[in-house]
Amino acid sequence: MVMTKSKMTIEKLAEMTQEQFSQVQEQFSRVDDRLDRLETGQERIEAGLKQVLDVVLEIPSRKVFDRTQARNEARFVVIEKKIGI
C-alpha cells in the first residue's frame, strides 16, 4: 500500500479549523444548556427550602407552647371555680 502525501492547502486547513471550532461551539452549547437546567433546579430547590423554613418558623417553640398551655390551664381553673366544678 503506497501512501501519497497530499499537500495541505490553505482552504483545507481553514475547513478543518472551522470544523473544530464548530465542534467546540456545540460542546459549549451543551454545557450552557446543562448549566441552565442546573440553575433552574437550584432555584426550585431554594424556593422549596424557603417554604419549609417559613413553615418551621411558624411552629411555636416548646417554651412558647408550654407557656400557652399553662395560661390555658390557669383559665380553665378560673372557669371551673366560677361554675363550681
Q: What is the pLDDT of residue 3?
A: 55
Please report whether residue 74 resides in a domain: yes
Please report whether residue 62 resides in a domain: yes
Residues 45 and 6: their CA atoms lie apart, in Å, by 57
Residues 79 and 24: their CA atoms lie apart, in Å, by 80
Residue 50 structural domain:
12-83
Q: Which residues contact 68 (CB under 8 A, 6 or more apart)?
A: 60
- Number of separate domains in the chain: 1
Please report whether residue 1 resides in a domain: no
**Positive or negative, the Cα torsion across 34, 37, 42, 45?**
negative
Please report whether residue 65 resides in a domain: yes
Please report whether residue 22 resides in a domain: yes
pLDDT digits (tens, 9 = 90+) for 3-60: 567 788 999 999 999 999 999 999 999 999 999 999 999 999 999 999 999 999 888 8
Please report whether residue 77 resides in a domain: yes
DSSP 8-class letter at 1:
-
